Amino acid sequence: MQSQKQAEEAIVASFNETEQDGNGKEEAAAERAEEPQPMLSMKSLLWHGGSVWDAWFSCASNQVAQVLLTLPYSFSQLGMLSGVLLQLFYGFMGSWTAYLISVLYVEYRTRKEKENVSFKNHVIQWFEVLDGLLGPYWKAIGLAFNCTFLLFGSVIQLIACASNIYYINDRLDKRTWTYIFGACCATTVFIPSFHNYRIWSFLGLGMTTYTAWYLTIAAFVNGQADGVAHSAPTRLVLYFTGATNILYTFGGHAVTVEIMHAMWKPQKFKYIYLVATVYVFTLTLPSASAMYWAFGDELLTHSNAFSLLPKSGFRDAAVILMLIHQFITFGFACTPLYFVWEKVIGMHDTKSICLRALARLPVVIPIWFLAIIFPFFGPINSTVGALLVSFTVYIIPSLAHMLTYRTPSARQNAAEKPPFFLPSWTAIYVVNAFVVVWVLVVGFGLGGWASTVNFVRQVDTFGLFAKCYQCPKPTVAAPPPQHPNKHH
């Protein structure tokens, strides 16, 4: 569509105008960017998303997926009070580091725009921001952590698909379902970028909203289980495993830069993640609290909340909606990996969707394989949170922000000034230092120890390549009764 292309080119040009010409031109450029195009088609309505609302839906939809079903499991490890407080704590901490990432993106892009660098056919990624601001060593660190995190994030979604569908159709074991959904999720190679996730993000958030409120209402309708006990916290290993799962829950902004780059006006991203997190609280807090109230310690052996609720049409609907949402989240996690792979093999500028899709397929294969090796997503959530999320979305952004603005000249020429609620650079430095120390000690240190111990126990219990992890054991038919007085 010619008009769409012209609009997108005007928007890219408007970014440069806004950075160089001050607030007056910024507003004018913003108004021009938001003007409705004369040729409005269904394709542009559903496919070409770059507004603030698109970014909000992407952040809120991507933040909570399968982890919604594991938070009750975390509450059974933490207890009700710690579960609620840690959700609030890590939710706001995650929003802060997402804000830092957005500031660093704008800083990097502003500097490059002044050098007349064009990003017309190039998607900026987090490791490139680190490279441009801090050098090649930071690029290598960011690339390693981000790619590994997204790789296992995709693995978790694939395992979760098999785990959920099993509650509707148990005629096939979970490993077989993993084969099937691996093939289904491979179709995400055809979605070019986050610019094209408009309808999927909107639907994904609706699906998690339904599932969260189904869990909440079903828990209260079914009432407390017989002999329910709420003994958590009982052991340090379980406590820090649960805490790290919540760290993982609100560390879903490894794709922040890609979502920002898909926006028409990336400068407006600053507080989007915070607003998305507040909405996510309305889903996670009621559902996890209600399920823990209803089932208590029983959740310790049921990392998927669906497994404790009776089969019904509402539950089947929730399962199906979560399956579709996990397909969407798989695409969210894999798309940055697709970009990295395209850049490695020199296919990132290719305009043919089919050629790019073919080039992306090798990324899906190792994800598929890992999902078959480690079919227990509950412990994987915690382990990934401790060892990868802690650095990727908490420690590295905080350190990068401190180092980028360590000199007076960098602070004076900063593209984004300190926020209104924290107007001092010293205060920002203190908050960043707190985040680094807290996550390093509690998240990576204690959480890494607890999650690794728990993960090894799962492997020892079920083994690698488990055919059907946490499936109910088949009932063995009782032998016919013997009649001792019967004469032969």
pLDDT digits (tens, 9 = 90+) for 167-223: 777 777 777 888 888 888 888 888 877 777 778 888 889 999 999 999 999 999 999
> Which pLDDT score is estimated for 143?
92
Nearest one of 86, 85, 125, 88 to 104, comparing CA atoms: 125
Q: Which amino acid is at 121?
A: N
How confident is the model over 27-56, as pLDDT tens digits?
334 433 443 443 445 555 555 667 888 889
> Which pLDDT score is estimated for 13?
46
Q: 2 with 37: CB under 8 angstroms? A: no
> Which pLDDT score is estimated for 111?
92
CA distance 160 to 292: 20
> Which pLDDT score is estimated for 377?
58
Q: 353 with 167: CB under 8 angstroms? A: no
Q: 41 with 1: CB under 8 angstroms? A: yes
As a residue count, the chain comes to 488
Q: Which amino acid is at 480?
A: P
Tell me how far the alpha carbon of residue 180 is from its chain's centroid: 23
Query: And the tokens for 399?
Result: 């350190």
Question: Using H for helix, E for strand and C for coil, what is the string for the chain?
Answer: CHHHHHHHHHHHHHHHHHHHHHHHHHHHHHHHHHCCCCCCCHHHHHHCCCCHHHHHHHHHHHHCCCHHHHHHHHHHHHCHHHHHHHHHHHHHHHHHHHHHHHHHHHHHHHHHHHCCCCCCCCCCCHHHHHHHHHCHHHHHHHHHHHHHHHHHHHHHHHHHHHHHHCCCCCCCCHHHHHHHHHHHHHHHHHCCCHHHCHHHHHHHHHHHHHHHHHHHHHHHHHCCCCCCCCCCCCCHHHHHHHHHHHHHHCCCHHHHHHHHHCCCCHHHHCCHHHHHHHHHHHHHHHHHHHHHHHHHHHHHHCCCHHHHCCCCHHHHHHHHHHHHHHHHHHHHHHHHHHHHHHHHHCCCCCCCHHHHHHHHHHHHHHHHHHHHHCCCHHHHHHHHHHHHHHHHHHHHHHHHHHHHCCCHHHHHCCCCCCCCCCCCHHHHHHHHHHHHHHHHHHHHHHHHHHHHHHHHHHHHHHCCCCCCCCCCCCCCCCCCCCCCCCCC
CA distance 142 to 64: 23
Q: 194 with 335: CB under 8 angstroms? A: yes
Contacts of 283 (CB under 8 A, 6+ apart): 64, 68, 208, 209, 212, 213
**Ramachandran angles phi, psi of 472, nearest 5°:** -65, 140
> Which pLDDT score is estimated for 27?
38
> Which pLDDT score is estimated for 379?
63
Q: 331 with 188: CB under 8 angstroms? A: yes
Tell me how far the alpha carbon of residue 439 is from its chain's centroid: 18
Query: And the tokens for 451?
Result: 């999650």
Question: Would you give per-residue pLDDT tens digits along the chain (488 residues)?
Answer: 444 444 444 444 444 444 444 444 443 344 334 434 434 455 555 556 678 888 898 888 888 777 888 899 999 999 999 999 999 999 999 999 999 999 999 999 999 988 888 887 788 999 999 999 999 999 999 999 988 888 888 888 788 777 778 777 777 777 788 888 888 888 888 887 777 777 888 888 999 999 999 999 999 999 999 889 999 898 888 898 888 888 888 877 778 888 888 888 888 888 899 999 999 999 999 999 999 999 999 998 888 888 899 989 999 999 899 888 888 888 888 888 999 999 899 888 787 888 888 989 899 888 888 888 776 655 666 677 788 888 998 999 999 999 999 999 999 999 999 998 888 999 999 999 999 999 999 989 998 898 888 777 766 666 555 556 556 655 444 455 555 554 44
CA distance 155 to 66: 11
Contacts of 24 (CB under 8 A, 6+ apart): none
Contacts of 387 (CB under 8 A, 6+ apart): 444, 448, 451, 452
Tell me how far the alpha carbon of residue 182 is from its chain's centroid: 19
